[in-house]
Amino acid sequence: MNSQQVAGTPGTGGEPGLRLSYGYGTDRGLRRELNEDSYIASDPVFAVADGMGGHEAGEVASGMCVRALAQLPQLATGERTATAGVVQQYLSSADESIRSATGSRAGTTLSGVVVVEQMGVPYWLVMNIGDSRTYRLSQGRLSQVSVDHSEVQELVESGEITAEEAAVHPRRHVVTRALGAGDETEADYWLLPIEEGDRMMVCSDGLNGELTDGQMLEILSTVEDPQEAVDALIQAALRRGGRDNITVIVIDARNVLNDAGIATTAPRTAADAEEEDTLPRAGSEDAVNGRS
């Protein structure tokens, strides 16, 4: 089965002031029979879910996850008023629905951003559960914002293996937190001020499992159009083997102004905003892709 969508045309969205340009895409890959990834790319919500369970169960889990996010009222109103607490309510509902529908035999990761505003200043509210990832390209530097919930990440943090060893570790695909399965089902959140020229990328591990950070940086920093960047990233992952489903969203931020109408080009910290229900980082048209 192929990835299913409620989709418009990738492009530009947003209220006066902040302008978001974005692109999105998914591919089954070269070795998988099913595409168990789902995504939502609908201002102000951009997220990727990677289903687990096989025999279409993973497809069901990831689809239910993104459809839950599609019920956020901010999608209907266009307001950027969501909070981590509100988002978690919808994810908790998705967790319950997935367990009920699959008998806890399937689960899904989730990673992405919700664009929010506090006191007239825009922020990326990054969310993550599992090992899908959210990256930020800012001032020429690509950094991973999300932190994987995986066995190898725990080994890296304990100093038992290096990040390079984790990339080829035989248990690199074992996640320690997911929606619909296991005991740990709450996402982590980060609140980052949006800066002029920010480029965010959200992806399933079918992308970063094939490409190094350097290879992703090369494409993200040289391909200006976000949809063309998405297409180039997917094609690069396929050329490297395409061993898993590949889903990518790229979002660009332009005309970033604060409440006084001043461009926010200077670096700021998340401490400048109210961070209730968020965790700090340690160390236009829309698309909803989900399954029925």
Does residue 14 fall inside a structural domain?
yes
Q: Per-residue pLDDT tens for 8-50?
A: 346 666 555 899 999 999 999 999 999 999 999 999 999 999 9
Residue 1 falls inside a structural domain: no
CB contact set of 57 (below 8 Å; sequence gap of 6+): 51, 102, 105, 106
- Asked whether residue 266 is domain-assigned, the answer is yes
Question: pLDDT confidence of 276, banded at 50, 70, 90?
Answer: very low
Structure tokens at 140: 């020429």
| pLDDT 10s digits, 242-258 | 999 999 999 999 999 76
In a domain, 40, yes or no: yes
| Residue 76 predicted with pLDDT over 60 | yes
Q: Write the CATH number for 157.
A: 3.60.40.10
Token digits for 107? 């689960």
What residues make up the domain containing 257?
6-289
User: Where is 13: in which H helix or E strand?
Assistant: strand 12-13
Contact, 182 vs 192, CB < 8 A? no
Alpha carbons 145 and 150: distance in angstroms, whole number: 15
Distance CA 158, CA 19 (A): 41
Tokens linked to 283:
């160390």
Indicate the number of domains in the chain. 1
In terms of average pLDDT, the best of 5-19, 175-189, 228-242, 253-267 is 228-242
197 found inside a domain: yes
Q: At what angle are helices 84-102 and 57-69 packed, to 10 degrees?
A: 150
Secondary structure element (H or E) that encloses residue 25, with its range: strand 19-27
